[in-house]
Amino acid sequence: MENEEITIRVDTEAARAYRAASEQERRKLDLLLTLRLYDALHTSGTLQDLMRELSRKAQDRGLTPEVLESILNEQ
């Protein structure tokens, strides 16, 4: 999946928590934020439609269920 860096404003506590998180935790947070942004900006479809589209794109880019599970289980 291609990534692009953006800047967003969050409260001080959220910024502090993100900076203190491990690299694996930040990757998980990045993924969750991406999903939430898609949800907020693409309100014309259902969440299920969004999840199907994201799943299809992830699979097209080589993300298998095993790889996803491995990423989510990293500590």
Give the range of the structural domain holding residue 37, as residue numbers without chain letter: 22-73
User: Residue 8 domain-assigned?
Assistant: no
Write out the chain's pLDDT in tens, 75 residues.
678 899 999 999 999 999 999 999 998 899 888 888 877 776 666 778 777 887 888 888 888 888 878 877 875
Q: Looking at residue 44, what is its pLDDT?
A: 67
User: Residue 7 domain-assigned?
Assistant: no
**Alpha-carbon span 62 to 74, nearest angstrom:** 19
Tell how many helices (H) and how many strands (E) occur in the chain: 4, 0
Tokens representing 5 are 């860096």
Task: Please tell me the pTM assigned to this model.
Answer: 0.55
The 3-state DSSP composition of the chain as helix, strand, coil percent (nearest 5) reads: 70, 0, 30
Number of domains in the chain: 1
User: Residue 11 domain-assigned?
Assistant: no
